[in-house]
Amino acid sequence: MIEFSVITVFFVGLLGGVHCLGMCGSIVGILTGQLPKEGKRWQFHLAYNGGRIASYTLAGALVGALGQIGLLLRDEVPVQLLLFALSSLMLVSLGLYVAGFWNVVRHIEQIGTGLWQKIQPLTRRLFPVSSPIEALLLGALWGWLPCGLVYSVLITALASGHAGRGALIMLFFGIGTLPNLLIFGLFWERCRHWVQSPKVRRAVGLVIMGFGLYGLFKVGYVFVLNGWAGSCHVET
């Protein structure tokens, strides 16, 4: 059900914050270093993350709409089931990557390199960031940074087979990532050593991998229960 997917991706975003900090931590660090020592710095960080989450939501709507087209084939091929299985495999791979056991996610992230090479030059025009509006625009651009965690959840949005559902899934995922990046931005110096702790990364990686394994179990259960034809109609 869609409620289950939303709750799951929220916690994946929350727990995957360690990976987010590894990907976006340097960006947040640069942004933090440019801000005044006094004043409402939280407004800049909130605007930055708001732009990032908006891009995630837009991407979710786009892939959800694409999935809706793909579901036209569901009477012949269990499209949703295969996409859910792929999304779960991505989470398992991501968990192993965050824990430091396997680096295959780095290769997966190269999928979005072409698009990012076109977007990245635009980010340089916004430095130094002098207003929350510029921080919002910067976040919206950095939301397209190639990221294995984002890609795994995008596959779930794709499997939802609906633009609105896909957008909702990515919105809740983005909200899940918000606390970690917001706290890291406001307390950068204090947090970065904690994030780099091997024990923390290993624990978080194993939990993320657990979500993926549970997803695979659910897919297998639906397949065994309903067979190939019945599995074509999995609800998101």
Residue pLDDT, tens place only, 12-69: 888 876 666 666 666 666 676 666 666 677 888 899 999 999 999 999 999 999 988 8
**Separation of alpha carbons 170 and 150, rounded Å:** 8
| Side chain identity, residue 9 | V
**Separation of alpha carbons 69 and 84, rounded Å:** 16
pLDDT at residue number 166: 94
**Separation of alpha carbons 236 and 231, rounded Å:** 12
Residue 164: give the domain boundaries: 2-233
Q: Is the pLDDT of residue 228 over 60?
A: no
Q: Give whole-number Cα distances, 14 to 10, 118, 131, 194, in Å.
A: 6, 29, 27, 16
Number of domains in the chain: 1
Residue that has been written with the tokens 């709409």 in this structure: 65
Q: In a 3-state reduction of DSSP, which class is residue 215?
A: helix
Residue pLDDT, tens place only, 147-204: 888 998 898 898 888 899 999 999 999 999 888 778 776 665 566 666 667 888 888 8
